[in-house]
Amino acid sequence: MSVMQTDAKLERQVAAVGDLPREKLAALWLKAYGCPPPKGITRASLERSAAWHLQAKRLGGLSAHARRIIRQHVKQKEAKRDDAAVGLGPGHAATAVASTIKPPPLPGTRLMREWNGRMHIVDITEDGILFDGKLYRSLTAVTKRITGAHWSGPRFFGL
């Protein structure tokens, strides 16, 4: 079989991937990666994966140099992730990571925010958040009422 015939056959096989049922594409993913495809993965991603593996099998896949570079990058990313997880900064100084979780405002707190030329006043109560005489369950719900869009309530009020 000549190179031209092999290339044409491979092109036909890759083109045929688009006609495979999703279940077959998922089975090919399982065979290639050893695990089922992630929930919500698009059909196009399944097709690209199947086509790539067909081509890699026929044409040899990534070069040894490319695989080595990928492994180096993965190791670097894993090291950075592990350092961040234990609170080590770029200089690897053992510093504690400050907590970014802030406690919710206490009952009796009054929050004020000017929006579109109007001052909005919110009172935090034991039962919820009071705004314009109506009780809300969250600052985000109040913020949506004020802006008409879904925004983070604590961020909107500067907390």
Nearest to 80 by CA among 72, 88, 70: 88
In angstroms, rounded to a whole number, what is the distance separating the alpha carbons of residues 156 and 92? 35
In this prediction, residue 85 carries a pLDDT of 67
In this prediction, residue 25 carries a pLDDT of 92
Q: Residue ranges per domain, the chain? A: 3-59, 62-98, 110-156
In this prediction, residue 4 carries a pLDDT of 58
In angstroms, rounded to a whole number, what is the distance separating the alpha carbons of residues 113 and 140? 13
In this prediction, residue 30 carries a pLDDT of 92
Q: Which residues contact 76 (CB under 8 A, 6 or more apart)?
A: none
Sheet containing 118-124, strands listed edge to edge, beginning at the edge strand earlier in sequence? 110-115, 118-124, 129-131, 134-136
DSSP-assigned states of every residue in 75-135: HHHHHHHHHHHTTB-TT--B-PPPP---PPPPTT-EEEEEETTEEEEEEE-SSSEEETTEE
Q: Which whole-number Å values give the CA distances from 54 to 5, 44, 59, in the listed order?
A: 16, 15, 8
CB 10 within 8 A of CB 58: yes
pLDDT tens, N- to C-terminus, the chain (159 residues) = 555 566 788 889 888 988 999 999 999 999 988 999 988 999 999 999 989 888 888 888 888 888 888 889 888 888 887 777 666 555 554 445 555 677 788 888 888 888 888 888 899 888 889 998 899 988 899 999 998 888 888 888 887
